[in-house]
Amino acid sequence: MIKFKLTYILLILTISFVACKQTKYVPEGKFLLKKNRVDHKKDKLEGDDLLEIIRQQPNYRSFGVKWKLMAYNTFDSTKIALKRDQKNIQLREKNHKKLLRQDKINNRRIAKARKKGDTLYSPKLIKLYDTIEPRKFIREWYMYKIGRPPVIFDSIVFQKSQEQLEAFIRRKGYYYGEVHGGTYYKTNRKAIVIFTIDAGKRYFIDSSYISTENDSVRVSYQKFIDLSNKNKITNIPFDIDFLDDHRYNAAKFMRNEGYYGFSKNHIKFLIDTNNRDMTVTVGVEIGPRIIQSKEHNDSLITLPQKKMYIKKVYLHIADTTYFKGSFVDKTRELGVPVLDGHFIRTIDSTEYTIMNKKSREIDSSRTVLVYHNGKLQIRERVLENQNNLEVGDLYSELLLEQTYLNYLRLGMFQAVKTILNENESDEGLVAHYSLVPSKKQTIGFEPRATNSNGFLGVAASINYINRNIFHGAEQLTVTISGGFASQPPIFDKTVDGEPIKTASRSFNTFEIGPSVKLEIPGLFPLKNSRLTKKLRPKTIISVAYNFQNRNDFKRGTFQAGYLYEFRHKKTMIFKLGLPGVSVVKYVNITKSTEFEKRLNDLNDLFLINAYSSQFIWQDAKFIFEYNLKEKDRRKRNHQLYFKSSFDIAGNILSAFSASQDTSSTGQREFLGVPYSQFARLDNVLIISNPMRK
């Protein structure tokens, strides 16, 4: 059967290759752009970057085949256009009939309303077929949705591409380079575009200097230069793109050093070239801030760059769910609008402070003012723990971004907005965080159908989430999943090698499993501290049970886990199991008499252990995840995902081996059940890169 399918597919592909000529819809006197090629002698010029600059790209190709062009050429466009005209005529006729039916119904409704003495009636509106963007029939969809028309060589675009390549090599420091373009026309009406680059000599930056009257800015920028060799702009090739990235990185560093509002536009480069020895002197000019005047909106004022500190922190819980009475009436009474910008106004307030244990004085740095409506549902301590920009801290864009992510990752808020206002009286910043709570409870239902090598199955799961269940930003998730499946038989032959007739593909497996997971911010049951606020941990407590019923056996699996999760930046996640009781798993199997006899007859220790009751007590568990996808300002499209987990199990139980019994297979037992003892390292590395067109 499989061979027949493969032969059938191969026949279709062969017919498609023969029948679909690539130049089928290329007009006479025109040429299909087959490919672009860039020849250059300099290793510093990357071929992929050069090819991306070319404006006209050939049709998409994968594994040497232009699949989308092939799909476009599969059918006759004239026949498709004629059928589309016929379809449009039919649609207009159907719409006309629908309109007549609609008028007929509405006339009856009008007459009925007049008979009752009513001046109003409910009109009937029948949905018409879309004639502007009608639904495509299968051939039309395949040709114009899946397929792509042939890319016809355009000499004007070719000239533009040559000019852009010349501009590109100049940006890379090859000011005297030349780009020559040519086109090779083949006899099969295809064209190959070839660009030859003679880059010539390249300018190098041999010296640089800083131009600013602000000594504080000069010191901070020099600190950025000394931070890494990648930040230095001397003794390197002259590259405008590199200098632009340097401006971006320098501006980001300056914002993290307290310079609020600093952007890369405040940095300008003064270029002085020397043609004799091909060197460049770069001057870095750092200008002042230019902001809009508050007194005159149409005027701009100049302010010196300076470091700013956080003076106050406000949290706004934009919600009226727990407000008693009419919130609209209350705002009218206060004489304020319901909305404050794009968020619901907050009218109640709670101040949160922390007492310093050593000095027994109030820690003013951790003072926040929480605005809300009605009774505050989440503890102020939890809200303050997510804030990294404390009162008195030097402004840092990195800490601001971390605070934004902390509130989102808390799982309690569906929207977070940060606003910083300058306080002119004390030259500081006032931080406002507008937080829109998520729905407290949600229920989801997910049906599934599976097909594994012809074995079918149906399943479903119900998911219930309760947020902030204990008013500490906890999240309780309860899931119940179950279903029926057709599983391949474990033994499809007898000991003598004869096939078992009862082996079929009917639904022979029933499975159901509830699970409960509780996520708690912090290191539960430890109290929150400065360390807790810095590492932003989360405690995950989970309990699950799974029951599986088959003809051969019944299996019940109970599992409980206790993990701590830590996040570092956006790319890394660390998970650490509670030492001693990271994961506890108990598997209980009740085998049928025939199945157990068959296992004994085979005398395969692997199968005997696989279908025996087991107890797994994991003493320690460590998981590390790295995902390059979350990294900011990635220049390449490749993806990298790495996950490593290390587990140790059974060592604590083995310490009591002197008082433990031994099973028939030689395993030590705990409470009459054999337990596992192992150390396991599991690594997963996935690297992907988009295939070239």
Say what the pLDDT of residue 672 is.
78
Helix (H, G, I), strand (E, B) or coil at 264: helix
Average pLDDT on 421-425 reads: 76
Please give the structure tokens belonging to residue 61.
Answer: 């190709």
Say what the pLDDT of residue 606 is.
80
Model confidence at 594, pLDDT cuts 50, 70, 90, reads confident
- Pairing state between β 428-437 and 309-317: parallel
| Distance spanning both ends of the chain, measured CA to CA | 35
Predicted confidence (pLDDT) per residue in 1-16, tens digit: 444 444 445 445 544 5
Say what the pLDDT of residue 2 is.
45
- Reduced DSSP (H G I as helix, E B as strand, rest coil) percent helix, strand, coil of the chain, to 5: 30, 35, 35
| Cβ neighbours of 507 (radius 10 Å) | 15
| Calpha distance 673→601 (Å, rounded) | 23
Residue 511: which H helix or E strand, with range? Answer: strand 509-521
User: Is pLDDT of 268 > 80?
Assistant: yes
Phi, psi of 638 (to 5 degrees): -70, 155
| Calpha distance 578→573 (Å, rounded) | 16
Sign of the alpha-carbon torsion through 245, 247, 251, 253: positive
Predicted confidence (pLDDT) per residue in 141-187, tens digit: 999 998 999 999 999 999 999 999 999 999 999 999 899 999 999 98
- Beta strand spans in 569-693 (E): 572-577, 583-591, 614-627, 639-649, 669-670, 673-674, 678-688
Helix (H, G, I), strand (E, B) or coil at 368: strand
**Lowest-confidence range among 25-29, 96-100, 357-361, 416-420?**
357-361
| Calpha distance 551→487 (Å, rounded) | 11
Predicted confidence (pLDDT) per residue in 67-95, tens digit: 889 889 988 989 999 999 999 999 999 99
User: Is pLDDT of 99 > 80?
Assistant: yes
318-322 contacts at long range (C-beta below 8 A, 24 or more positions apart): 318/343, 318/344, 318/345, 318/346, 318/434, 318/435, 318/436, 318/437, 319/344, 319/372, 319/373, 319/436, 319/437, 320/344, 320/373, 320/374, 321/374, 321/437, 321/440, 322/373, 322/374, 322/375, 322/377
- Pairing state between β 309-317 and 362-372: parallel
**Contact of 313 with 371, CB cutoff 8 Å:** no
Model confidence at 495, pLDDT cuts 50, 70, 90, reads low
How many CA atoms does the CB half-sphere of 354 hold within 13 Å?
19
| Cβ neighbours of 566 (radius 10 Å) | 14
Average pLDDT on 192-207 reads: 92
Which among 583, 586, 605, 593 has a CA at the least distance from the CA of 663? 605
| Calpha distance 219→122 (Å, rounded) | 75
Please give the structure tokens belonging to residue 613.
Answer: 């009751």
**Contact of 193 with 183, CB cutoff 8 Å:** yes
**Contact of 512 with 480, CB cutoff 8 Å:** yes
Say what the pLDDT of residue 6 is.
47
What Cα–Cα distance (Å) separates residue 238 from each residue in 248, 614, 631, 634? 17, 66, 27, 22
Burial readout 622-640 (b: 16 or more C-beta within 10 A, e: otherwise): bbbbbbeeeeeeeeeeeee
Please give the structure tokens belonging to residue 473.
Answer: 């930003």
Predicted confidence (pLDDT) per residue in 269-314, tens digit: 999 999 889 999 999 999 998 887 777 777 788 888 999 999 999 9
The residue type found at 394 is L
- Pairing state between β 428-437 and 572-577: unpaired
| Calpha distance 274→203 (Å, rounded) | 9
Average pLDDT on 308-337 reads: 92
Cis peptide before 27 (omega within 30 of 0): no
On average, the pLDDT of the chain sits at 87
User: Is pLDDT of 130 > 80?
Assistant: yes
User: Is pLDDT of 499 > 80?
Assistant: no
